Amino acid sequence: MSFSATVLTLYPEMFPGPLGLSLAGRGLGEGAWSLETVQIRDFALDRHRSVDDTPAGGGAGMVMRADVLARAVDHASPQGDPRPRLLMSPRGKPLTQARVRALAAGPGAVILCGRFEGVDQRLIDLRGLEEVSVGDFILSGGEPAAIVLLDAVVRLLPGVMGNAQSGDEESFENGLLEHPHYTRPQEFEGRPIPEVLTSGNHAKIAAWRRAQAEKLTKERRPDLMAKPPHPVQK
Ligand code: SAH
């Protein structure tokens, strides 16, 4: 069984969106993964098909109702569904390449996209939703966050990315940011490609790249250096 994603959203038209193009889109077409959307509004309980209501305790905005969402979640992910249930949320654990890898190794994901001020806490607690954030900023809805998460997962699936090895040296895969890249022309606006890269000496090139990666990481993301080191070679 290939990776199976189910996205619960008020805007199913946003999918597959960018995931229908390029590597992810080809993988989708070839069955390397599958994507289903569920319109949350179809699970509303009144004839106005409302999915949200005013926040208990007052304040601005609207909150997505637990009862409506529970019906949608139970439909999309009945008991026994082995897939993790994710809620895209700025309060969630920041998404990492390690979590992305674990998801890609699993059966798929059920992803709930929030809108308005967010969702009733009882739904999160009672349906065991794992809150996932894509960064410390506020989006207008969970859909772009779900697309980010799925893009990161899908490119790791077997048969999606042409050159499997090119995944291993990416930023974060070994706890470092990646080294800089160069390609032709040999000289651009007076600047040549660093000499070592055209030397043909593979050991020297590897050492230079490693040193550049460490320097960049130290400058830009010292927090990554503080984490336990990962092996360079797999
Ligand atoms: N009132 C909330 C923000 C709601 S934004 C708060 O202050 O925490 C509306 C929806 O967009 C959220 O329910 C969530 O699904 C999505 N969203 C916004 N920012 C996000 C982020 N950084 N990561 C993941 N999802 C996000």
Ligand 1 mutation pick, 95, 139, 143, max ligand atoms within 8 A of CB: 139
Q: Would you give per-residue pLDDT tens digits along the chain (234 residues)?
A: 799 999 999 999 999 999 999 999 999 999 999 999 999 999 999 999 999 999 999 999 999 999 999 999 999 999 999 999 999 999 999 999 999 999 999 999 999 999 999 999 999 999 999 999 999 999 999 999 999 999 999 999 999 987 655 666 788 988 999 999 999 999 999 999 999 999 999 999 999 999 999 999 999 999 999 876 555 544
What is the model's pTM?
0.94
Tell which atom from ligand 1 comes closest to the C-alpha of 135. 22
> Given its phi and psi angles, is residue 205 left (phi above 0), alpha (psi -120 to 50 degrees) or beta?
alpha
Any known ligand binding at 188? no
Inter-CA distances, 230 with 82, 153, 196, 234, Å: 29, 20, 26, 10
What sign has the CA pseudo-torsion 24, 28, 29, 35?
negative
Which residue, by CA, sits nearest to atom 1 of ligand 1?
A: 117
Domains of the chain by start residue, with CATH? 3-154 (3.40.1280.10), 168-225 (1.10.1270.20)
Which residue, by CA, sits nearest to atom 26 of ligand 1?
A: 89
Distance 149 CA to ligand 1 centre (A): 14
